[in-house]
């Protein structure tokens, strides 16, 4: 039996895994073929963040087969963890072997491009996996649990579209929604005002039951997107990171569900 390493474990202890050869498994979120080399964004469900896999045509005998796979293909990757502190992502996996565990079809509904709300209505079982509906549901939960405002960064799906407003029961119209040009800078300003910033992260974090729910100067919960999670800069700008303990029956919670649990935990006392 192949010993599979979870992507969350690699991110949680990057220094230890740096230089190690590991085997990971997951689903391809994106595949970019640049002829002689390429990149795969792999996600195994153990955390919101994807793992960047670097593939080299001079190393992989089946490079063309892998490069031709569709989004959603299940892959097993063996490679070396390389730390990249100067890059956008803190680490990547330089592949030495890639096997297709399960192919995906070209008509797999969710692709890298943005989808219209009309199209998402035809695949209701997959809608919770999209950033649009995750953002919408979190705005609704923030209003339900008495939070004062919602801050969205430039990469966040807009909660103001007609269908998004309907899905949120109009919450975005009753709750201030602030657009931040640079989320880490905004978090730094909140910290200067005495607000405690808490990042939702599976690695280097404390379980929710160990975190005090009372913050007299206010609390800001920072929750990432379904596919990418939070950036390293956003996590670094927070005072602490928290996670929701779950059983081993599932790898992780959907982003909107996790957000709602966190918002309920840190709700205002008068909402009880």
What confidence score (pLDDT) does residue 100 get? Answer: 93
Strands (DSSP E) contained in 87-200 are 91-102, 150-152, 177-179, 196-200
CB of 242 within 8 A of CB of 262? Answer: yes
**Strands 51-56, 37-43: pairing kind:** antiparallel
Residues forming a β-bridge with 240: 198
Q: How far apart are CA 168 and CA 260, in angstroms?
A: 13
**pTM, two decimal places:** 0.56
> pLDDT (tens digit, 9 = 90+) per residue, 159-186?
555 555 565 556 666 778 788 888 889 9
Tokens of 7: 């992507």
What confidence score (pLDDT) does residue 205 get? Answer: 84
Rg, C-alpha atoms of the chain: 20
What confidence score (pLDDT) does residue 161 get? Answer: 59
What confidence score (pLDDT) does residue 224 get? Answer: 79
What confidence score (pLDDT) does residue 192 get? Answer: 93
* Listed residue (185, 190, 193, 189) closest to 234, CA to CA: 185
> pLDDT (tens digit, 9 = 90+) per residue, 184-216?
899 999 999 999 999 988 777 888 888 876 788
Query: Which residues does the chain have with pLDDT short of 70?
Result: 1, 48, 107-137, 154-173, 213, 226-228, 250-251, 268-272
């Amino acid at each position: 039996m192949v010993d599979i390493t979870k992507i969350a474990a690699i991110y949680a202890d990057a220094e230890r895994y740096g230089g190690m050869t590991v085997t990971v498994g997951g689903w391809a979120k994106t595949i970019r073929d640049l002829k002689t080399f390429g990149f795969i964004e792999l996600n195994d469900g153990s955390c919101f963040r994807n793992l960047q896999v670097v593939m080299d045509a001079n190393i992989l005998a089946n490079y063309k087969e892998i490069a031709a796979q569709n989004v959603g293909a299940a892959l097993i990757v063996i490679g070396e963890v390389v730390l990249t502190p100067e890059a956008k992502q803190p680490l990547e996996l330089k592949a030495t072997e890639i096997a297709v565990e399960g192919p995906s079809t070209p008509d797999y509904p969710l692709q890298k491009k943005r989808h219209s709300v009309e199209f998402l209505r035809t695949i209701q079982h997959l809608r919770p996996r999209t950033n649009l509906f995750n953002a919408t549901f979190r705005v609704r939960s923030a209003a339900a649990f008495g939070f004062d405002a919602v801050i969205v960064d430039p990469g966040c799906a807009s909660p103001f579209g007609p269908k998004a407003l309907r899905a949120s029961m109009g919450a975005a119209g009753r709750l201030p929604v602030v657009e931040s040009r640079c989320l880490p800078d905004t978090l730094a300003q909140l910290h200067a005002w005495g607000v405690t910033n808490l990042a939702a992260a599976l690695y280097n974090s404390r379980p929710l039951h160990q975190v005090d729910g009372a913050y007299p100067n206010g609390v800001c919960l920072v929750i990432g997107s379904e596919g990418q999670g939070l950036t390293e800069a956003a996590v670094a700008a927070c005072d602490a990171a928290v996670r929701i303990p779950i059983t081993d029956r599932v790898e992780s919670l959907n982003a909107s569900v996790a957000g709602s649990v966190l918002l309920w935990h840190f709700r205002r006392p008068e909402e009880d």
